Amino acid sequence: MPTVPRRTTRKIQVGRVVVGGDAPITVQSMTTTKTADVDGTLSQVYALHGAGADIVRITCNDVDAAQGLAEIVPRSPVPIIADIHFQYRLALAALEAGVQGLRLNPGNIRNERHVKTVAREAKDRGVPIRVGVNAGSLDKDLLDRYGGPVPGALVASAQKEIGYLEEVDFTDIKISVKHSHVPTMVASYRLLSEKVDYPLHLGVTEAGPPPGGLIKSVAGIATLLLEGIGDTIRFSLTADPVEEAKAGRQLLEFLGLRERKGLDLIACPSCGRAEVDVIAVAGQAQKKLEEANLPIQVAVMGCVVNGPGEAREADIGIAAGKGKGHLFIKGRVVRVVPEEEMVDALLDEAEKLVEQGVEARLAAADGAAAQLADRTAEELLGVQGDANQVAERRRAVMEAASGE
């Protein structure tokens, strides 16, 4: 499989997690609980960790929140970043609480002296800072100069804040230039990537609820990742933050940028040739396979005529045909089961595949299964015809190639 060259960036350490350089792209999310509710916040942090978050951000908007962080940080399974807005002293308090990172918004903390004070304290503790630029909180001077929250304005805001940090010899920095308009977000990060070598935190801000928020986030984040831009990501959804972490992790796995730890289910879109209700079978299979937490790619195909061949790259799959389910591994049919047992048989074989490996399961294949699948496919072709007209096309190709 082709890989995308990563943009070369510096490395920073967020607790035990490395961000930037050649480190794996990380997934972030943010709690929605009141930080003073220590147990409730920790419960959400653990849920985010379980869904794939490598780093979690928690608001530090008052003294009670800072005190809550003092209890949360040592009990967290992942590094905690304190989200700071207007009060720079809360950043100092969060550092005292032991957080592994800070997020500062240049549009909110506009006092150069305050920013430098925070940077000095963070440097002494080895704590990185994210310069988190947001289109909705840009400095009025920049808005006036650029005529709005355009890419140039977002990048200029980030560079101004970075300048404050660099003046006190602080370089453990990562940057975001988020926007709710996907093309503007993409253009902003592209421009920023040309000007700095700090690691970049990608996100479409205020993306909204699913499915629109998911679509916008994927459109912006995936576009940049496929260009080699981006070192850590967050889906900003109006939803349970667990959905953010899960979506972020899945995106990285689907793009081949993180090792698969969860299910990747592929299925044909169904058509008139399908021998089963593909949508229903795929839904049942996804539910059971996700519950089993199997890190494999599974295919659900509507007919045995093309299914195993089209999905031969999947680890395992099932294809329907004349009341039967044809179970295949890497495109080779290994078992044939009654249609009503398709999903259970798929789960059973998938669990054995994960435990024993591909070669062992191919060795245990039913020798007659492949022949039965071939006969079924031929029978269906006789009834339905070849949708792709392969035989006719092959004959036409041969005649064209061998003609005078």
Q: One digit per residue, pLDDT tens: the chain, 404 residues?
A: 556 789 999 999 999 999 999 999 999 999 999 999 999 999 999 999 999 999 999 999 999 999 999 999 999 999 999 999 889 999 999 999 999 999 998 878 878 999 999 999 999 999 999 999 998 888 888 999 999 999 999 999 999 999 999 999 999 999 999 999 999 999 999 999 999 999 999 999 999 999 999 999 999 999 999 999 999 999 999 999 999 999 999 999 999 999 988 889 988 876 665 667 888 888 999 999 999 988 999 999 887 766 677 778 889 998 887 788 888 899 888 988 888 898 999 999 999 999 999 999 999 888 887 777 677 767 666 655 555 555 666 777 788 888 66
Assess contact for 64 and 35: CB atoms under 8 A: yes
Helix (H, G, I), strand (E, B) or coil at 126: coil
C-alpha closest to that of 136 among 76, 184, 198: 184
Domain boundary among 198, 227, 254: 254
Q: What is the pLDDT at residue 274?
A: 64
**Whether 114 and 238 share a structural domain:** yes
User: Angle, to 10 degrees, between the axis of helix 63-72 and the axis of helix 88-97?
Assistant: 20
Domain end (from 254, 273, 295) = 254
Domain with 213, as residue range(s), is: 11-254
CATH of the domain at 314: 3.30.413.10
Tell me what pLDDT residue 380 has. 65
Instruction: Evaluate whether residue 207 is within a structural domain.
Output: yes
Instruction: Answer with the one of 211, 226, 254 that is the final residue of a domain.
Output: 254
Quick check: is 395 in a domain?
no
Within this chain, do residues 236 and 272 fall inside the same structural domain, yes or no?
no
Q: Is residue 363 part of a domain?
A: yes
Q: 290 with 222, same domain?
A: no
Q: Are residues 226 and 348 in the same domain?
A: no
Do residues 236 and 287 share a domain? no
Give domain status of residue 396, yes or no.
no
Residue of 310, 304, 317, 299 whose CA lies nearest to 276: 304
One domain for residues 89 and 225:
yes
- Strands 316-321 and 324-329, by their bridges, are antiparallel
Residue closest to 250 by CA, chosen among 225, 279, 227, 281: 225
Domain membership flag for residue 402: no
CB neighbour class for 396 (10 Å; exposed up to 12, middle 13-18, buried from 19): exposed
Of the candidates 302, 263, 304, the residue with the CA atom closest to the CA atom of residue 279? 302
Shared-domain flag, residues 246 and 133: yes
Both 100 and 234 in one domain: the answer is yes
Give yes or no: residues 232 and 287 share one domain.
no
Residues 82 and 188 in one domain: yes
Same domain, 232 and 344: no
CATH number at residue 75: 3.20.20.20
Q: Verify that 365 and 306 share a domain, yes or no.
A: yes
Domain contains 312: yes
CB count within 10 Å of CB 124 equals 9
Does 90 reside within a domain? Answer: yes
Number of compact structural domains in the chain: 2
State the pTM of this model: 0.85
Residue 118 structure tokens = 């925070």
Residue 172 domain-assigned? Answer: yes
